[in-house]
Structure 1
Amino acid sequence: MSANNSLDQTDWKTVGFTHVEYPKGDFIGFILAWSSLFPFFVLSGFVTHIYFRREIHTISFFAGIFLNEGVNLVLKYIVREPRPTSPHTVSNLEYGWPSSHSQFTWFFVTYIIFFIYFRSHSSNSMIELIWKHSMTAVCILTACVVAFSRYYLQYHNFNQVLWGSFFGVVLGTGWFVFTHVILSPFFQTVVTLEICEFLMIRDSTLIPNIMWFEYTTSRQESRTRRKMVSKKVQ
């Protein structure tokens, strides 16, 4: 008996307040169901990061996410391939090719990997190389788990997951190149616009190590203000 046939004969349970279902009592299915929520965690993280950081590069990355989703939606309504027959209690009427979860996750992960190797601060030290390779491994593993979850939980067949992953990698690569070759040279000009100054949108592209820059700047500002307070007290 195949794995899918075994799952057909089990009860399905939703994850919390979501509509993602997994076979009741299946711990692996439970973990994979939670992994299917990865895109929602990413989107909430984007919104939070953009609100607090106001970084134009992050905004551009976020725009790429929406472009990727738009391409996925267009492809689905062109091909109109149905999802596999499944025993889910909550029916999904959306078309299945390509898998949007797989495409979203691989777009995000591909862009992040390129950013790690080509945009993040590099000192060529052994520790930093280990960090980069480790982060890349985590990204790839995460994308594989999310993509596999859609097949395991019978939301998509293997072909839909495979093509969703392929389009995600291609679009993630393309958007990274487009952002850093075409858009980045204009970031400095864009952030000087009145609307960007009003919204406090900034560009940190030319700062090699933004974390170190912000750390040293905040320390210097803190010291300056402490001295000012000390003089007032005296």
Structure 2
Amino acid sequence: MGETVLSGNEHFYNNGEIEWQPLALTLVEYPKGDWIGKIFALISLAPFGIGAGFVTLILFRRDLHTIAFFFGTLLNELLNIILKHLICEPRPLARGHLYNEYGMPSSHAQNIWFFSFYVLYFFVIRLHHINNNSIISALWRVIIVGGCFMLAVLVSIGRVYLHYHTVSQVVVGGIVGFVFATTWFIVVHRILTPLFPQLVSLKVCEILMIRDTTLIPNVLWFEYTKSRQEARARGRKMASLKTTQ
């Protein structure tokens, strides 16, 4: 049978001569029996869910702006790692199994606030030209943007509640995320977006079926109407083939 060995705050599992250690990247601890802490622990996994969503969108939609957005999140994470090792401020509670012992600034706060502000800029600036100004459309925008900011607030509170970060570490993380989201959106909107038509014409982009949907006002509605038209056309074609047989 394997034997559990505790070394400081680290947890190792011996199985013969092999030492097993938990993956600290997704490991979140909370006080036993504290249901509020458990909820915050679950909410703190939101950045990983966002990352999985990005990968899914890129694989199935292959839109250049989505790829640029995801690349910005990677740069934001790299910036956080650099800042942590420059500032070298410890976390409020030492946890030996964490992959990074430094806490300034909070990576969770920086990532979630970067995502929220970028979504805000996308809806306010990038999608301002959508002709559908119905109440339902406006309501969906408010729900999506408001939900992102609510999630950002909960993640930030949870990191302090679970003693992974101090208030100042979370606040600085949020500020850095806001500043970098603003900077990266300007870079994408002003510099990269005009280059998208040339990029999608490259052979490698054609092979990977990467596309640019910048000039399409409402991509969801466009794809919905086009798929309906194609399905009806194919249905009529199949019906005509059956009648001729």
TM-score (norm 1): 0.88
User: Residue in 2 aligned with 1:230?
Assistant: 239
Aligned mate of 2:156, from 136, 147, 156? 147
Question: How many Å separate the matches in 1 of 2:116 and 2:45?
Answer: 15
Shift of 1:91: 4.9
User: Residue in 2 aligned with 1:174?
Assistant: 183
User: Residue in 2 aligned with 1:5?
Assistant: none
Question: How many Å separate the matches in 2 of 1:132 and 1:192?
Answer: 32
Aligned residue pairs total 218
User: Residue in 1 aligned with 2:112?
Assistant: 105
Deviations 1:53-105 (A, max 9, x none): 1111100000000110111111111111111135x574554211000000000
Shift of 1:18: 4.3
SS for the counterpart of 2:176 is helix
TM-score (norm 2): 0.84
SS for the counterpart of 2:30 is strand
Question: How many Å separate the matches in 2 of 1:63 and 1:20?
Answer: 26
User: Residue in 2 aligned with 1:40?
Assistant: 48
Retained in 2: the 8 A contact 1:150–1:161?
Answer: yes
Larger radius of gyration: 2
Question: How many Å separate the matches in 2 of 1:218 and 1:52?
Answer: 15
Is 1:118–2:109 an aligned residue pair?
no
Shift of 1:224: 1.4
Shift of 1:130: 2.8
Aligned mate of 1:25, from 33, 45, 67? 33
Of residues 130-139 and 198-207 in structure 1, the stretch that sits farther from structure 2 once superposed is 130-139
Question: How many Å separate the matches in 1 of 2:201 and 2:110?
Answer: 34
**Once superposed, what is the RMSD of the aligned Cα atoms?**
1.8
The unaligned stretches of length 5 or more in structure 2 are 1-21
Question: How many Å separate the matches in 1 of 2:173 and 2:132?
Answer: 35
Is 1:63–2:50 an aligned residue pair?
no
Shift of 1:176: 1.1
Is 1:54–2:62 an aligned residue pair?
yes
Retained in 2: the 8 A contact 1:122–1:128?
Answer: no
What letter matches 2:189 in structure 1?
Answer: H
Retained in 2: the 8 A contact 1:96–1:156?
Answer: yes
Is 1:96–2:103 an aligned residue pair?
yes
Question: How many Å separate the matches in 2 of 1:78 and 1:65?
Answer: 20
The unaligned stretches of length 5 or more in structure 1 are 1-13
Deviations 1:13-45 (A, max 9, x none): x9xx94100011111101000011011101111
Question: How many Å separate the matches in 1 of 2:98 and 2:223?
Answer: 49
Shift of 1:230: 1.8
Deviations 1:101-150 (A, max 9, x none): 00000001110111122223353333333332232221111001001111
Of residues 113-122 and 69-78 in structure 1, the stretch that sits farther from structure 2 once superposed is 113-122
Is 1:206–2:193 an aligned residue pair?
no
SS for the counterpart of 1:23 is coil
What letter matches 2:116 in structure 1?
Answer: V
